Amino acid sequence: MPSFVAQLQALSSSRLCVGLDPEPSKFPGAWAGDASKIYDFCAAIVDATHDLVCAFKPQIAYFAAHRAEDQLEQLIAHIHEVAPGVPVILDAKRGDIGSTAEQYAREAFVRYQADAVTLSPFMGFDSVEPYLAYEGKGAILLCRTSNKGGDDWQMQRLADVPGQPRLFEHLAHLAETQWNRNGQLGLVVGATYPGEIARVRELAPTLPLLVPGVGAQGGDAAAVVQAAGRTAPLVVNSSRAILYASAGPDFAARARAVAEATRASLT
């Protein structure tokens, strides 16, 4: 199988990632409130949009909260079957060390067969390293997130590092250089901070950027594309605006229409 980065490069005509965050209370018609329909709902979205995207990003909490991990396994297998060239990013935001990190890596890449996983690098490189043992798989590190509380840590300056960079800048530099031993790393940068996207791209010109926040969260697509440049893959995620474009029987068709419009805005 091609590596995660190679998959993204092969799909460079699209920058759209559809986030799969299933909320049964928002499902259409008779499916509303029925967690046993998580796979059916998400698979319908995948079938309607897979030719438009560069990736799918299921959020593990939306499955685990409903005891639907088996449906997540089934869904990822379905994506690989109907869209074999489209990578699956497991949005798990794991962050631990040693044997625990090894188990989380096995969960992502062996159990779920994901092509990449999101990670919290707060505990340092030894919380990232076990994922890099899986050749070709992607490890996407939280760098400059779109939530307000991200300022509590990510914008703080490091007095002990030459130039006193902010924490997110130092992380971007490490991910581009000594941490990226096998070319497997990427970074998460929120769409609501285009200035920081540009700064991360300056510090990490070769890394894929996963950018959530376009759509329901209000991120500006044109600003994201301009800030990120074209030196490396850009993966812009939209979830709710696509998934819940309609609460009627046309939900999949409406999801496709919104996905087409979002993809066009990212050219």
How does pLDDT run across 22-78, given as a tens digit for each residue? 999 999 999 999 999 999 999 999 999 999 999 999 999 999 999 999 999 999 999
Q: How many domains does the chain have?
A: 1
Residue 209 CB partners (closer than 8 Å, separation 6+): 186, 187, 188, 189, 197, 200, 201, 228, 232, 233, 234, 235
Q: What is the mean pLDDT of the chain?
A: 95
HSE, side-chain direction, 13 A CA sphere, residue 131: 38
218 pLDDT higher than 70: no
Q: Stretch 258-267: mean pLDDT, rounded?
A: 94
Q: Which of 26, 93, 137, 148 is catalytic?
A: 93
CATH number at residue 219: 3.20.20.70
In the structure, what pLDDT confidence band is assigned to residue 215 with cuts at 50, 70 and 90?
low
Angle, CA of 86, 240 and 58, to the nearest 5°:
40
26 is catalytic: no
Q: What is the CA radius of gyration of the chain?
A: 18
Give the residue numbers spanning the domain of 121: 4-265
Q: Stretch 182-186: mean pLDDT, rounded?
A: 96
- Pairing, β 16-20 against β 185-189: unpaired
- In 3D, which of 216, 218, 154 has the Cα closest to residue 187? 154
Q: What is the pLDDT of residue 219?
A: 75
Chain segment 126-179, per-residue pLDDT in tens: 999 999 999 999 999 999 998 889 889 988 999 998 999 999 999 999 999 999
214 pLDDT higher than 80: no
